[in-house]
C-alpha cells in the first residue's frame, strides 16, 4: 500500500488541478467542513502515527501537549531542513508532489488552531522552495489558503522559509531560533516548544512526512492507518535507500517487512551490486549505530530483523540500531569502515554549533584521532580514546547532535574493532589507494 507516493509519478501532479483530480485536498474539505479540531487530533492519535523525522514520538500525543492560552497565537512549523546524511525522502516528496505536504499543513494547522504556519526548508534546496511557493500560490487562488477557507470561517496563512544552511537547524529549537532571524543555536528545555516556541508562543514542529500523512488519516480514519504495519510501528514509511545496492532511491514501505526483503527483493533495493556481498548497513541516517550484515538481517536472538522502530532497536545499542529518519545506507565488502566513520565524524565536527563544550571539543577530537588512524599514524590507545571521548559527549549536550556524533563512532568500534586495529597495525597497507580490510586477513584492492 502507498499512502504518500500513490500518485507521485502522475504527469503534472505538482500542479493543483491534476492533484485535485486524483483526490487532492479532499481531506481539507472533510476536516474543515465536517470535523472539529479535536476530532482531527483524535484520529491522528488513533492512527499511531509516529514522527518520521527520526525520534519516532507519537504525533497525536505531541499535538495534545500544545498549550492553548486565550488570546495567544499558536503555530505549526514543518521541519523540512532534512540535513541528515543519507536521508533525502522529504526532498523527494516536496519536489515531486508539493501539494501532498501543503494539504497536510492545512489539515494539521486546523487541528492545532494555528492561523499562521511555516515550512522551513533546507536552504540548499532553493529549487524546491520555488516549487513549494508556486504550489502555495495555487492553493491561495483556489481558496484553500487565506481568509475564510472554503467558507468555513477558518483562516490560514502559509509561508516557506529557507534554512540557515546548518545541520543543527534540523533540531526543532535551533530551527525556531533561525526562523526568528537569529543564529540557529538550540535552546535549553524546558520550556518546550509546545508551551513557548516560535516567538515564545505555543508551537508544534513536525517533519514533512509526518504532516503529509495526516491527510490520508483524515480521509480514511485512524483505525485504517493503524491496521497497516506491526504493533506500535503503524502505517508506511519513506526510506531513502543508497549505497552499494542495485536500485537506490526513495521507497514507501509498509512498516513490518523484513530488512532482508527490503535489501534483496526486486520490489525494493534489488540486492547488493553484482559480484559483491553485504558488509554493513546504516539503517536510519548517519546518526544511528552502524550494524554488520549478520546483525542487520537477524537480531541477536535469532529473529528476522523487521523494518520497524522496535525490531531495529532490538538488543539496544549492543546489537541493535534505530529506524531514525530512514536514511538506509548499504555497504558491501569494498567499504572501509574507518574511512566511513571519519567522514561522518568530519561532518559532525563541522556542523556542531559550538554551544556545548563536550560537543564542540569532543567532535574535534574524534575527527582528529580518526584522521590519523585513517592516514597510517594511529596508535593502539587511539581506539579506546575514541570510545572514551564518545562516552563523554553522549548525554551531555543541550541537543541530540552530541549523541548523533558519538553513536556512529562507538558503534563502528563496537562491531568493527578489528578493522580499526588493522589500520593501526598495518599502516603501509591501510594507506594504499583502494585499501580494504578483509576479516579473514589483511588484503587490499587496486
SS3 306: strand
Cell numbers linked to 343: 567522514
pLDDT of residue 442: 45
pLDDT of residue 321: 97
Q: How many CA atoms lie within 13 A of 385 on its CB side?
A: 16
- The 10s digit of each residue's pLDDT in 19-38 is 999 999 999 999 999 999 99
pLDDT of residue 429: 86
Quote the DSSP letter at residue 5: S
pLDDT of residue 440: 54
pLDDT of residue 438: 67
Contact 377, 428 (CB under 8 A): no
- Residue 33: how many CB atoms within 10 A of its CB? 12
Chain centroid to CA 133: 23
What is the pTM for the complete model shown? Answer: 0.94
**Closest to 215 (Cα-Cα) out of 2, 7, 3:** 3
pLDDT of residue 437: 74
Alpha-carbon distance of 320 to 443, in angstroms, equals 29
Alpha-carbon distance of 44 to 211, in angstroms, equals 10
Contact 99, 136 (CB under 8 A): no
pLDDT of residue 434: 73
Contact 362, 368 (CB under 8 A): no
pLDDT of residue 439: 58
pLDDT of residue 1: 82
Q: Would strands 233-234 and 229-230 be described as parallel, antiparallel, or unpaired?
A: antiparallel
For residue 380, whether the previous peptide bond is cis, meaning omega lies within 30 degrees of 0, is no
Cell numbers linked to 54: 527520526
- What phi and psi, each to the nearest 5 degrees, are found at residue 121? -105, 140
- What phi and psi, each to the nearest 5 degrees, are found at residue 174? -65, -35
pLDDT of residue 394: 96
- Residue 319: how many CB atoms within 10 A of its CB? 18
Ranges in the chain, pLDDT < 70: 438-446
Amino acid at each position: 500500500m502507498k499512502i504518500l507516493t500513490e500518485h507521485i509519478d502522475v504527469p503534472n501532479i505538482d500542479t493543483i488541478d491534476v492533484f485535485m483530480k486524483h483526490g487532492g485536498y479532499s481531506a481539507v474539505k472533510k476536516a474543515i467542513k465536517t470535523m472539529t479540531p479535536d476530532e482531527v487530533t483524535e484520529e491522528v492519535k488513533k492512527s499511531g502515527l509516529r514522527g518520521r523525522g527520526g525520534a519516532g514520538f507519537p504525533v497525536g500525543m505531541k499535538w495534545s501537549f500544545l498549550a492553548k492560552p486565550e488570546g495567544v497565537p499558536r503555530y505549526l512549523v514543518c521541519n523540512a531542513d532534512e540535513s541528515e546524511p543519507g536521508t533525502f525522502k522529504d526532498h523527494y516528496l516536496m519536489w515531486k508532489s508539493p501539494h501532498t505536504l501543503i494539504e497536510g499543513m492545512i489539515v494539521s494547522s486546523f487541528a492545532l488552531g494555528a492561523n499562521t504556519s511555516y515550512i522551513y526548508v533546507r536552504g540548499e534546496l532553493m529549487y524546491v522552495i520555488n516549487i513549494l511557493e508556486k504550489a502555495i500560490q495555487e492553493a491561495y487562488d483556489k481558496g484553500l489558503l487565506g481568509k475564510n477557507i472554503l467558507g468555513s470561517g477558518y483562516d490560514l496563512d502559509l509561508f516557506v522559509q529557507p534554512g540557515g544552511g546548518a545541520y543543527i537547524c534540523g533540531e526543532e529549537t535551533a530551527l525556531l531560533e533561525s526562523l526568528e532571524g537569529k543564529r540557529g543555536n538550540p535552546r535549553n528545555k524546558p520550556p518546550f516548544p509546545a508551551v513557548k516556541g516560535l516567538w515564545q508562543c505555543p508551537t508544534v514542529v513536525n517533519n514533512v512526512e509526518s504532516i503529509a500523512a495526516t491527510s490520508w488519516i483524515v480521509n480514511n480514519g485512524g483505525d485504517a492507518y493503524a491496521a497497516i504495519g506491526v504493533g506500535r510501528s503503524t502505517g508506511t514509511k519513506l526510506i531513502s535507500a543508497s549505497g552499494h545496492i542495485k536500485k537506490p532511491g526513495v521507497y514507501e514501505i509498509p512498516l513490518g517487512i523484513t530488512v532482508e526483503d527490503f535489501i534483496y527483493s526486486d520490489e525494493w533495493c534489488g540486492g547488493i551490486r553484482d559480484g559483491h556481498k553485504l558488509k554493513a548497513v546504516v539503517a536510519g541516517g548517519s546518526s544511528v549505530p552502524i550494524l554488520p550484515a549478520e546483525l542487520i538481517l537477524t537480531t541477536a536472538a535469532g529473529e528476522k530483523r523487521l523494518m520497524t522502530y522496535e525490531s531495529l532497536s532490538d538488543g539496544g545499542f549492543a546489537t541493535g540500531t534505530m529506524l531514525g529518519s530512514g536514511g538506509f545506507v548499504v555497504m558491501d565488502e569494498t567499504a572501509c569502515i574507518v574511512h566511513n566513520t571519519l567522514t561522518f565524524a568530519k561532518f559532525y565536527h563541522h556542523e556542531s554549533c559550538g554551544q556545548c563544550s563536550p560537543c564542540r571539543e569532543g567532535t574535534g577530537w574524534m575527527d582528529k584521532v580518526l584522521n590519523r588512524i585513517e592516514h597510517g599514524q594511529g596508535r593502539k590507545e587511539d581506539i579506546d580514546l575514541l570510545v572514551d571521548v564518545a562516552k563523554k559527549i553522549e548525554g551531555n549536550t543541550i541537543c541530540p547532535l552530541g549523541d548523533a556524533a558519538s553513536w556512529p563512532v562507538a558503534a563502528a568500534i563496537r562491531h568493527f574493532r578489528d578493522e580499526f586495529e588493522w589500520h593501526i597495525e598495518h599502516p603501509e597497507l591501510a594507506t594504499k589507494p583502494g585499501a580494504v580490510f578483509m576479516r579473514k586477513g589483511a588484503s587490499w584492492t587496486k
